Amino acid sequence: MATESSSLVFQSNNPLISGIGRVLSRVSGFKEMARAYYFEVILSPYRCPGCGGRIKMVGVNECSCTCGKVFDPTISFQQSRCCGARLVRKTFHYACSKCHEVVPSRFLFDERLFDKAYFREMMQEARAREKRKREELKVFLAASKSDTLLLLEEPNLDDVPGLTDALNHFIGIQFDPCDFSSTSRFRMNDYRNHILSVLGIGARLFSDMPSLFENGRADRICRFVTLIFMQQDGEVSLTQYGDDVLVERMQSEAKCKG
């Protein structure tokens, strides 16, 4: 802030810098007078096509008369040198209506031609294209929506090639869907209570956790599945260490139930 204030003080006290503003102002004023004089001279031979009155410039290549008529003087008064034909207005320039050669306009001082109607039309077309794309995307997404999944029979893991092998590799043991049949003794709440009692307020490796039932293979699967759900509920944290998994009881859970 101090540096900025010092800079402003320096600029106000510097006669060269403070004088630039006055120079630019005088140049701008001179340019406006030159522009007004140029158009006064260039328009002096012409009269309003409607009433024959005097005309004046009111915009970029736009004339008006006291009768209210507004028109483009280049199209109304100027012809091409190549063919002696009337000019037509393009996007950024004028051209001969016969050979389409570019023709500079005498009724431009230092301005650039800007076709407002053209760009307005282009913007409208661009908005229309974007609207069509959004509508087409809505139709596409609606058509690609999946149908309602109705399970009329028990899911079979073998229906998805490689799913069983992927699950076996993930948990480190061979998985048998029969271990989760309706006749198994798997009750997740029993395993949850067992895991929490084993953990206490600390942590243990998955391989060190005692089994809840005699069937060690099925018991290990049941413990692992229960831990996955407990992790989702924020009760435990699972971290893989090589072929083993470290099971940690979350602090918030440990404080509430410890």
Q: Does domain 159-257 have CATH number 1.10.10.10?
A: yes
pTM of the model: 0.36
CA angle 255, 256, 258 (to 5 degrees): 60
Report domain extents, the chain: 2-103, 159-257
pLDDT in tens, the chain (258 residues): 445 555 554 455 667 776 787 888 888 888 888 888 888 888 888 999 889 888 988 888 889 998 989 998 988 899 898 998 989 887 778 889 999 898 888 888 877 665 566 667 777 888 888 888 888 888 877 777 766 766 676 667 777 787 777 777 766 655 555 555 544 567 888 889 988 988 887 888 888 888 887 767 788 888 888 999 988 888 888 888 878 888 988 865 444 444
Tokens of residue 124, six digits: 């409208």
